[in-house]
Amino acid sequence: MPSLPTGERDLSRTYALVILVEAIVIGALYWLGAHFS
Amino acid sequence: MRWLDWVVVVTYLVWIVTSGLRASRRTNEIDGYFRANRSLPWWAVGLSVMATQLSAITLVGTTGKAYADGMKFVQFYFGLPIAMVILSMTVVPFFYRANVYTAYEYLERRFDLKTRTLAAFTFLIQRALSCGIIIAAPSIILSIVLGWPFGVTILVIGLPVIAYTMVGGVQAVTWTDVKQMGIVIFAMTSVVVVLIIGLPVSTSDALHVAGAVGRLQAIDTSLDLHTDYTLWSGLIGSLFLMLSYFGCDQSQVQRYLTAKSVDSARHSLLVSAFAKIPLQAGILLTGVLTFCFFLFNKNPMLFNPVYERTVLASQRAGEYRALETEFDQKFQVRAAAAKGLAATQSDPSSPAYATAREAFRSAQTEIAAVRSKAVTLVRDVTGDTTYTDTNYVFPTFILSYMPIGLMGLMIAAILSAAMSASSGELNALATATAIDVYRRHINPTAPDAAFLRFSKMSTAFWGLFACVAAYYSANLGSLIDTVNKIGSLFYGSILGVFILALGVKPANGHGAFFGLIAGLVSVFIVSFHPETKTISYLWHNVIGAVVCVVVGTAISLATGSRRAAPAPTQPTR
């Protein structure tokens, strides 16, 4: 794996968390429509 | 508005302008004026990124859209988090290390001057038009509240923004954005509380009633290309739009170029990646709650009082009065049906629930039919065939039901949203004009003082241009759709040029230039051709990007690679 430039952090876990949160939010919105229909 | 509301609004205006002017440091230097000397913390830049995208249209247009159509518009934002991750990994460190002032500077270094100039002009045209619409939305509200001419209310919004953006540059824009986001979130929370208190049934019961007519259906999994908002147009079409808006549009690129470091710039985008969809869902839910509120509390048949007065002054006033009487009767029937449905929703399997739900749906259809007749009458009398009053729903609630003080706060929030979005865009328009046009084409040897003077005059010019554009955009239908549709004519093709620049090694200047033109032409054809114009505008972003990349690559290969892709070093200005 290539090394990061000086002073920069590896944010790959944060990126994975962004995608996970989006999946949860879309799921919650789907539930909202189903529950209140 | 009562005296306390006036105090709140005037206090807000004075506070935001003075704090905007005081927040500026070293704005007599080019780097301070355009990039804040790369000194701003990630959280401030992150809030500024969100504030620039969250305009008064978001508050007024989106809530009105949710009132009329439900929550489906939230799908528009589904591509945003993915786009932010992609941009954080690619474009953000690239632009930051390239030490540029505008995104388009890089295109000259990678391709040639004509590609840079075409991309900058494309940005200037579409952003200037959008900025006008962004100012128009709150101006409509103020013209209703104050009874002032529409043109005067546009200037009340536009002039303070021009003042602090012109003097304070990007620092004034960012720090006022932070304060304005705080006001918007606080005011929207207070609106939700007032809406919930005003419901005669529990919030859960009210949402069940709204759900019975589809207002809470947020996800549409259909593959229909002609439906504006689906899961797929949101995840794919919106991804292209967001990649272009946050990665290639100067109004957003300029925000994260002011951050302290590459990591700060990345974090500033990730604020939106986490918060944007929940925030938009919350705003749309506020629109749905407004729908619930007006099920039990009387609303006018038409939400635009100016058009209503025009009809009442015409020869067909009697016809309108008769419709109003019918509307009042239908309203009572629907309110009773809504209460009946709320009372039975705890047992969805019971026959009483099925009967109540059918009664409510029928009442909703009948009242919608009466309103539709009234809209047709307005169109006939006024000659305005595009009349719609979606944008007036939320202001009507604010002006009719918000308590003293909070009404002023909400008006201040709408002003905040308009100012934060338009200030960022004016700043970006001025930057692109100064860096990509003036210094590159007109006066490359201008001393810094003259250059800054031009930049400030450019801010004033674009501000006044936006005010004129605002004047003519009041009746463009749903403002939120209008601004996104205008953007989508250009975004995909611009994104295509940057994909060629960063990802296609053989691409050259001719390929990028003609690829961009081909992308723009193809999107305009699809948008206006009778057989394809009904395709959802979100797909225009995909079409523009793909055509630009394919045509650009083909032309590059045919004409031969003239310039190798250099590593980002010193900017070309």
Torsion of CA B467, B468, B473, B479, to 10 degrees: -20
What is the structure's pLDDT at B476? 58
What is the structure's pLDDT at B570? 42
What is the structure's pLDDT at A12? 92
Chain-chain contact of A19 with B218 (C-beta, under 8 angstroms): no
- Whether pLDDT at B317 is above 70: yes
Which one-letter amino acid corresponds to residue B312?
L
Chain-chain contact of B211 with A26 (C-beta, under 8 angstroms): no
What confidence tens digit (pLDDT) does each residue in A1-37 have?
566 777 778 899 999 999 999 999 999 999 999 988 7
Chain-chain contact of B85 with A36 (C-beta, under 8 angstroms): no
Nearest Cα of chain B lies from the Cα of A1 at a distance, in angstroms, of 15
Q: How sure is the predictor about B303, in pLDDT bands with cuts at 50, 70 and 90?
A: confident
Chain-chain contact of A29 with B84 (C-beta, under 8 angstroms): no
What confidence tens digit (pLDDT) does each residue in B353-376 have?
889 999 999 999 999 999 999 999
ipTM of the assembly?
Answer: 0.92
When comparing pLDDT for B321 and B20, which is higher?
A: B321
- Count CB neighbours of B339 within 10 A: 18
Nearest Cα of chain B lies from the Cα of A24 at a distance, in angstroms, of 11
What is the structure's pLDDT at B280? 93
Distance CA B408, CA B411 (A): 5
Distance CA B509, CA B437 (A): 18
Quick one: average pLDDT of B86-108?
Answer: 90
Distance CA B180, CA B174 (A): 10
What confidence tens digit (pLDDT) does each residue in B155-193 have?
888 999 999 899 888 888 899 999 999 999 999 999 999
CB-CB: which of A9, A18, A33 is closest to B273? A18
What is the structure's pLDDT at B146? 67
What is the structure's pLDDT at B573? 45
A22 contact residues in B (CB cutoff 8 A): 78, 81-82, 273, 277
What is the structure's pLDDT at B335? 94
**Helix, strand or coil for residue B184?**
helix
Number of CB pairs, chain A paired with chain B, less than 8 A apart: 68
A9 contact residues in B (CB cutoff 8 A): 263
Which of B171, B167, B138, B166 has its CA nearest to residue B154?
A: B138
B82 contact residues in A (CB cutoff 8 A): 19, 22
The length of chain B in residues reads 573
What confidence tens digit (pLDDT) does each residue in B485-509 have?
888 888 899 999 999 998 888 999 9
CA atoms within 13 A of residue B126's CA, in its CB half-sphere: 25
Q: How sure is the predictor about B458, in pLDDT bands with cuts at 50, 70 and 90?
A: very high
Q: How sure is the predictor about B572, in pLDDT bands with cuts at 50, 70 and 90?
A: very low
Distance CA B281, CA B296 (A): 23
Of B206-215, B286-295, B376-385, B554-563, the one with minimum mean pLDDT is: B554-563
Mutate to test the interface with A, among B216, B236, B285 (most CBs of A within 10 A): B216
Distance CA B167, CA B24 (A): 8
* CB-CB contact of B363 with B337 (8 Å): yes
Quick one: average pLDDT of B248-273?
Answer: 92
Give the global pTM: 0.87
